[in-house]
Amino acid sequence: MSVLAGSLIKAAELLPAALTEDRGTPQLTLTNAYQDIGGMTRTFTTLNNNAKALVIGVVDFSVTTAIGATGLCLAQLLVDGVADPSLVVLDANQVIRATVLNSWVVDLAAAGSHTIKMQAEKSINAGVAVVPATHPGLLILLFDHDFS
């Protein structure tokens, strides 16, 4: 977009964005393998190569039986089936309930359909932990521009 000196432009013309929010449902009982958190998957289409998205994942973990001294509750973000290495983490060595979050800036190299979702697990096969349906959320702010 070219702008002439003295032109009035709106902020939305500089960097328009799309916002979407999803809420997790139903309750998920954690195992020691990643599972999709229900309601926390979003598929959308970008029109431009090299778009970006700011993603905030909020996960509510409830540990009713401690998982162990080294036990963790974990959640990961998947973008087009590829897990991001930055996790949502809760130390689960005691009975606890906590709402934890992480944020990611996601690069969407190619224009077209993209799927972003959250998954959760416990790190070892011990204890009891769930992701209740009450607080989890996935917030995506999409900037569909060529940032190359």
Question: Can you spell out the DSSP letters for 60-116?
Answer: EEEEEE---TT-EEEEEEEETTEE-S--EEEE-SSSEEEEEEEEEEEEE-SSEEEEE
Residues 38 and 18: their CA atoms lie apart, in Å, by 22
Q: Is residue 22 part of a domain?
A: no
Evaluate whether residue 59 is within a structural domain: yes
So what's the pLDDT on residue 37? 94
Instruction: Indicate whether 1 belongs to any domain.
Output: no
Q: Does residue 13 form part of some domain?
A: no
pLDDT > 70 fraction of the chain, expressed in percent and rounded: 89
Instruction: Tell me whether residue 21 is in a domain.
Output: no
Report the half-sphere exposure of 52 (CA within 13 A, side-chain side). 8
**What is the pLDDT at residue 136?**
85
| Span 26-79, pLDDT tens digits | 899 999 999 999 999 999 999 989 999 999 999 999 999 999 889 999 999 999
CATH of the domain at 109: 2.60.120.760
Q: DSSP code of 144?
A: -
Domain total in the chain: 1
pLDDT recorded at residue 147 = 75
Give the three-state DSSP class for 11. helix
- Counting DSSP H helices and E strands in the chain, the numbers are 1, 11
Quick check: 11 pLDDT over 60? no
pLDDT tens, position by position, 116-136:
999 999 999 999 999 998 888
CA 135 – CA 57 distance, rounded (Å): 11
**Measuring CA to CA, which residue among 145, 147, 148 is closest to residue 13?**
145
Residue 5 lies in a domain: no
57, 76, 87, 144 from 116: Cα distances, Å: 11, 11, 14, 15
State mean pLDDT over 9-16.
56
SS3 14: helix
Residues paired with 60 in a beta bridge: 99
